[in-house]
Amino acid sequence: MMEKIYGCSLRHLNTFGFDVSARCLIKAHTAQDILQLRDDRDFAHGRRLVMGGGSNLLFTGNFDGYILQPLMQNVDVEDDNAESTLLRVGAGMAWDELVRICVERGWYGLENLSLIPGTVGASPVQNIGAYGAEAKDAIVGVEYVDLDDFAVKRLSREQCRFGYRSSIFKQELRGKAAITQVTFCLSKRPRYNISYGALGEAVKQLGGESLHNVRQAIVATRSSKLPDPAELGNAGSFFKNPFVEKSLADELRKSHPNMPAFASPDGSVKIPAGWLIEQCGLKGARRGCVGVHPKQALVLVNYGGGTGGETLALAREICRTVRDKFGVELELEVNVV
């Protein structure tokens, strides 16, 4: 049954832990709950936001509108054969819980995305990625309610137009779609993607290739570098890794020969944003109650009592400093509200 909570505090619904509120929070447990909102004129014509676990949001103040939170929790096997399993999963399920289930059942494809915060419904929006894998590698379809005409629609992987930390849901359908179900195709044949960084060595130290060992290695690595939002407010990676022209990368290497860089198929070069920020002397920097995490420069944190406005000001300072020093433009990965 749909729930509407007016004047709702969002303090525990955003991983920064900012003390903000919304005019109304709507908890939808089924697609039918969302479809009922077609008759709610305030929702249909007012300011609205679809939210998952609040792990990729930066609230700069109270939200004077309606927040819709899809909470579907189903995990349904749609097809199963010797090669693969087709899994249809509710948007409200915690992402890492889905990964845990897949690993336990011997389904390959999501293990590299272990311990990423947020919900299943958010995974195609952001095309979440880590350790050489992205959600798009396993997603085959996304179901959503169109908030303009209140029709249930489905997009194939190709129609989602996935890109680096992007999708059609962050572009043309931004604010217009409430994702309800995501369908994944997971392999039953052993296949490991452990060539990224030191992941292969970490897996080897745990006893060799297995789904359990890959997950364990990634969980241990992420836990050692990234702060737990339950203990220190943050939204994970705050910036995208920038892709620059090869000519600029070559020029930067002359003065920074140890600069990490990764060639892309389109000829551009990816430079880790964390490295750029660290070279600017901002790793561990603090501005009042917010700052740059001392172990991972990609992560901005709320030490307690901070605000979204302070965090955004710090982010802009970082972008300006990196641009002035390297001529590289950083782009925010979080969604600013």
* Residue 232 DSSP code: S
Q: Tell me the three state secondary structure of residue 5.
A: strand
CB atoms under 10 Å from CB of 279, counted, come to 16
Catalytic residue among 111, 143, 310, 333: 333
Cα 221 to chain center, whole Å?
Answer: 18
Catalytic residue among 55, 165, 167, 310: 165
Active site residue 195: no
> Contact, 41 vs 55, CB < 8 A?
no
> Contact, 328 vs 244, CB < 8 A?
yes
Active site residue 165: yes
Q: Alpha carbon of 294 to those of 76, 273, 299: distances in Å?
A: 41, 15, 9
> Contact, 78 vs 86, CB < 8 A?
yes
In the numeric block, the tokens 């990368």 are attached to 249
Active site residue 231: no
Q: Alpha carbon of 228 to those of 40, 114, 244: distances in Å?
A: 38, 14, 31
Q: 23 — phi, psi (to 5°)?
A: -60, -45
Catalytic residue among 114, 123, 237, 310: 237
> Contact, 112 vs 134, CB < 8 A?
no
Catalytic residues: 165, 237, 333
